[in-house]
Structure 1
């Protein structure tokens, strides 16, 4: 059953990515924004 679920997950990922309209630069910018937000929310927990 685990192998079947992995196959289904893989097919779902292929379907989602095939509909992607974004550029690589847009993805990089989104990643930078997410990282910046995460860091601002978690900085106090990680630094003395």
Structure 2
């Protein structure tokens, strides 16, 4: 059972890093989706304004 604390510490750090990377990827995807929807809404608005 020698030095299990060090390996547990590294595992904890790896889990935290993976969590942060996952959250950043998720938030980036949400921002990308939001911009895509805004662009789509803007095109729809322009088409609607042209028909009026």
Would the TM-score normalized by the shorter structure come out above 0.5? no
Instruction: State the TM-score, normalizing by the size of structure 2.
Output: 0.41
The structure whose Rg is larger is 2
Q: Which has the higher helix share?
A: 2
